[in-house]
Amino acid sequence: MKVMITGGKTSAALKMLKRFDVAEIVLADYGEVPAFPSKAYSFVSLGELNKEITAHVLLTCCLDHQVNAILPMNDFERSALSKSTVLFEEFGVVILEAED
């Protein structure tokens, strides 16, 4: 299973790594992201932030990186994805919820 966690440059996203010890992790964030290799995860950029097309950007990134599940860490992403659940399901991408 390949899981993408958004907000990849934040400490909250890095804490989520522990939840997925058997999964391949992709940390995604907007703008520039670190470019160092790690066996535990990889970083990808979601480009410049444009809240108008959030769901499209996230779905495209999931498909480009063969991601099976996405864990949105930002409120605006959760809002956009809640309206696009069926679309993500059609492409075989499960939307996960962060537990507090």
pLDDT digits (tens, 9 = 90+) for 59-95: 999 999 999 999 999 999 999 999 999 999 999 999 9
Q: At which residue do the structure tokens 């950007």 appear?
A: 57
Q: What is the pLDDT of residues 12-64, one digit of tens each?
A: 998 988 888 777 999 999 999 988 778 888 999 999 999 999 999 999 999 99
Distance CA(10)–CA(75), nearest Å, equals: 14
Question: Is pLDDT at 6 greater than 80 in this prediction?
Answer: yes
| Sequence-separated (6 or more) residues with CB below 8 Å from residue 37 | none
pTM: 0.92
